[in-house]
């Protein structure tokens, strides 16, 4: 029983890690797609400072 409890806790950590990995992939993909728009936006913000 105790062994099964540890396995379930480990499985939850694996699922959490996979979700974080998927979020990271989505963020990287969005940065790659919107790179030009973000560069223009940050340069205008920097110029206005």
Residue 14 has a pLDDT of: 84
Residue 26's nearest CA partner among 38, 18, 37 is: 18
49, part of any domain:
yes
Residue whose tokens read 């062994």: 3
48, part of any domain:
yes
Distance CA 16, CA 33 (A): 26
Residue range of the domain that includes 30: 25-49
Give the HSE-up count for residue 4: Cα atoms under 13 Å, Cβ half-sphere.
1
44, part of any domain:
yes
Number of domains into which the chain is organized: 1
Tell me the pLDDT tens digit for each residue of 14-41. 889 999 999 999 999 999 999 888 888 8
**pLDDT level of residue 1 (50, 70, 90 thresholds):** very low
**pLDDT level of residue 45 (50, 70, 90 thresholds):** confident
- DSSP letters spanning 16-31: HHHHHHHHHHHHHHHH
pTM: 0.60
């Amino acid at each position: 029983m105790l062994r099964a409890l540890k396995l379930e806790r480990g499985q939850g950590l694996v699922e959490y890690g996979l979700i974080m990995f998927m979020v990271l992939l989505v963020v990287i993909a969005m940065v790659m797609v919107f790179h030009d728009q973000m560069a223009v936006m940050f340069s205008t913000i920097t110029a206005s400072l």
